[in-house]
Amino acid sequence: MAIDEQLQSLVYFLTDHLFAAMEAGERIRMATFTQPENLGELSGDDIMQEIEQLRLFISDLSDWEEEMVSKLIQARKWSNHLREHDAFFKPLIDLFNSATHPLSDIAAQISDHHDRHFEGGDHPDWFINSREILTEKSAHGQILALTTGPMYLVGGHVRLGNITELSESYLSALETRFPHLWLPAEDVLMDAEAETEKNISFE
């Protein structure tokens, strides 16, 4: 199909935000945390180091959540522009908007909670439980391991696996609809390098 420059820009920015959201989501999905079972036998400094590692783990998850939600909200905006240009995507855009609608409401909440862990605000258990992170504990209740995975609740509301699968389907549909706009990142980089070399003059 013929495509004008405006539509080309829409597709570019939409795919860029979807890719960025999926990258952040993949970091969340792969995140793990472990602690030694004999935590009570460690020195005070070592215990503080383990506590700091837990704080950093939760902080990273919070950062990636904020990034993912931000990019998905931007993708929603570009999707609504695309809807005006190509009726083919209306059903998929409606599904995408419906699935990501809660993110607009929880974006502020994610930002608000971001700096409160271990700073007199939220206890890490609140974050762990609200995201339904798989937790392995010792007989004394000490956290031994934390695992995220596709059942992780982004912002405490949206399943990571669901939104990731929908984003993948969306990207696949965009690739099918606009194959001539779809270049892998490596190809784009190679084209840019080739163009740079072509424009270099040697004396």
Q: What percent of the chain has pLDDT over 70?
A: 78
The helix-helix angle for 160-177 and 44-85 (nearest 10°) equals 40
For residue 96, what are its two tokens? 């995408």
Please, are residues 78 and 13 in contact by the beta-carbon 8 Å criterion? Answer: yes
pLDDT tens readout for residues 79-114: 999 998 888 999 999 999 999 988 877 776 766 655
Length of the chain: 203
Provide the whole-model pTM.
0.78
List, in sequence order, every beta strand (DSSP E) within the chain: 32-34, 134-137, 143-147, 153-154, 158-159
Those residues with Cβ within 8 angstroms of residue 43's Cβ, 6 or more apart along the chain or in another chain: none
Residue 44, Cβ density class (10 Å: 0-12 exposed, 13-18 middle, ≥19 buried): exposed
User: What is residue 188's predicted lDDT score, i.e. its pLDDT?
Assistant: 40
Please, are residues 170 and 22 in contact by the beta-carbon 8 Å criterion? Answer: no
User: What is residue 45's predicted lDDT score, i.e. its pLDDT?
Assistant: 77
How far is it, in rounded angstroms, from Cα 88 to Cα 139?
56
Domain ranges of the chain: 5-199
Residues of the chain where predicted confidence (pLDDT) is lower than 50? 1-2, 115, 117-121, 183-203
User: What is residue 68's predicted lDDT score, i.e. its pLDDT?
Assistant: 94
Q: Is 27 left (phi over 0), alpha (psi -120 to 50) or beta?
A: alpha
User: What is residue 91's predicted lDDT score, i.e. its pLDDT?
Assistant: 93
User: What is residue 179's predicted lDDT score, i.e. its pLDDT?
Assistant: 82
